[in-house]
Amino acid sequence: MTKLLVVATSNPGKLREMQAYLADSGWELTLKPEELDVEETGETFVANACLKASEVAKATGNWAIADDSGLAVDALNGAPGVYSARYGQTDAERIARLLRELGDEVSRQAQFVCAVAVASPDGAIALQSEGVCRGEILTATRGDGGFGYDPIFYVPEKQLTFAQMTPEEKKSISHRGKALKALIPQLVAVLSFES
């Protein structure tokens, strides 16, 4: 028996990505209603994920899943952090601003962080997890895949940026992949308990 899990996003790309990760979980994933917009007012990735999952669950009366993720650069005290998507109007502007702020900084360690929360139909947070992928920020873009900061986020163990990786390579080591992978056994357990 499948059960509906509403993904707290209007982005069909993020829905497809989550469907790929959670394909064997037994849940049927669907986008949240377009008109339902939840403002991200939390100060952490976890707070924003919980806020979105809870609000969408209460509004739809279904289980809901939400994630919040971004880039945290060590030399910038964790910036852009929860403001990653609001660091500029376009991906190119966000990358340019980040590179400008880093300047000639030698220490360029950074990490992508993803927090995922699942809320029951009454809005209570039932599950949450977090995934981290460490890397470093290059001085210029490399690769044309992915989105956001992917072209400047270099993973030394792979010797590639996220933008140079195949979707499968990125999925195996990404922050979102790690966070969702950690949730799968719990989601399967919830489904069998609910049935």
Residue 123, class by beta-carbon neighbours within 10 Å (0-12 exposed, 13-18 middle, 19+ buried)? middle
Using CA atoms, how far residue 143 sits from 49, 160, 174, 180, in Å, is 29, 9, 16, 25
Is residue 74 among the annotated active site residues? no
* AA identity, residue 60: T
| Marked catalytic residue, from 24, 67, 68, 104 | 68
Token pair 């360029």: residue: 108
Q: Where does the chain have alpha helices with state H?
A: 12-21, 45-60, 91-102, 167-173, 175-194
What does DSSP assign to residue 80?
B
Distance CA 4, CA 73 (A): 36
**For residue 45, how far is the Cα from the chain centroid?**
9
Length of the chain: 195
Instruction: Determine the Cα angle at 175 with ends 172 and 178, to 5°.
Output: 55
The residues assigned a catalytic role are 68
